[in-house]
Amino acid sequence: MSASSRAEGATAARAVAAALAVSIAVVGCGDLPTPPASTAAAARTAPDDSDAWNLVPATASSLADLNLAALRGSPWSRTLVTGGFVEDRDERLRAFGYDVFNDADRVVVAGFDDGGRASQTVVVAGRFDAARVGRAFIAATPGAAEARWRDCSLWEGHGRAVALVGATLVQGTPETVRAAIDAAWGIVPDARGGALGALARDVDAEAHRPAVTLAFLVTDDMRARAAGFTEIPTDLRRVAARLDLGADLELQGQAVFDDAAGAGPAARFWDGSLRELKQNRMLRIMGLGPVVDGATLEADGPRVFLHLRIGEDRREALSERLLLLLQTIARQRGPSAPQP
């Protein structure tokens, strides 16, 4: 293979891997609206886990909401979620006390940036055996112990924690897990009433119940982490996306800038990058051309809108190619320690 082909292949692989991480792991017009301020929380008499967002504090700066029940049920993603990683089920049960691909119906991953110190909380709604989860955590974390926080079962040790809030699991650090419990009890505001909730509503995520919802604020910490990997426009402030899996696959996203003066040049730059990807030979050889062929970008005021549609006739072949790519990435990463 020539050097240029290898370079194209690397570019294509990075682009597709990034898109997959976003969608599986695991984006209005006029003047830019100010996100609504988080209102004071109303304390409850019991934790409310009826919606996974209730367990995400409003201080979160990023959120990925994966509807695993929808992903398992869609022909677009069924093999990606279940068929490709069945052999790892026993390891997942041993490490976590449950199998995320079979026992979870929804997973919300929330990120927090606090002066250069990033942390993460994972909220999992589904069917769990609390005792089994606790035993798995203690077995994987020498010195871990069981505790209680606001009448919720909690296991913690070595900077990691897992808790059962109602029928929902929360994983993270001891601090973020306690904050999630506080949000469920209404002690602190949850994310739906903050900037991330406003972003989700911008892409109609609440009304459409999509397979995947993404929302994040572009913080200084995020810019620092992205340095050397990708360039983030200086006046980009917020990004949100919604993935729907009907007969066709459809992705709707938007990037919000300070004003139209920043959105226009960014849209032109991204559109040029998209055209280059559409001409990438290795992407075609890998059978992943439809991932970029159906994508369009448009600037309107301070916002840049992304629309991607892939027709049902491309579904079977594309799903097989994506599964192959994901399995290759998983093999290259190798086994890793359990993460909150």
pLDDT at position 92 is 79
Q: Is residue 5 part of a domain?
A: no
DSSP 79: I
Distances from the Cα of 82 to the Cα of 175, 210, 242, 257, 310, angstroms: 32, 19, 22, 38, 22
What are the helix (H) ranges across the chain? 3-23, 68-73, 78, 89-96, 100-103, 130-140, 174-185, 195-202, 205-208, 220-226, 260-278, 281-285, 290-293, 315-333
Q: Is residue 338 part of a domain?
A: no
- Please tell me the pTM assigned to this model: 0.81
Q: Is residue 72 part of a domain?
A: yes
Using the Cα atoms of residue 316, residue 320, residue 323 and residue 325 in order, give the sign of their dihedral: negative
Q: Is residue 7 part of a domain?
A: no
Q: Is residue 325 part of a domain?
A: yes
User: At a CB cut-off of 8 Å and minimum separation 6, what does 60 contact?
Assistant: 110, 111, 112, 121, 191, 194, 196
Distance, CA of 185 to chain centre: 24
Instruction: Name residue 188's amino acid.
Output: V
Low-confidence ranges of the chain (pLDDT < 70): 1-42, 82-87, 116, 327, 329-340
Q: Name the domain count of the chain.
A: 1
Q: Report, in angstroms and rounded to the nearest whole number, the Rg of the chain calculated over CA atoms.
A: 20
Q: Is residue 169 part of a domain?
A: yes
| Domain hosting residue 240, numbered range | 12-333
State the Cα torsion 185-188-193-197 to the nearest 10°: -90
The string of DSSP letters for 276-302 reads HHHT-HHHHHTT-THHHHTEEEEEETT
Q: Is residue 339 part of a domain?
A: no
Quick one: which of 104, 108, 174 has its CA closest to 137? 174
Rounded to whole angstroms, how far apart are CA atoms 122 and 51?
A: 13
pLDDT at position 45 is 83
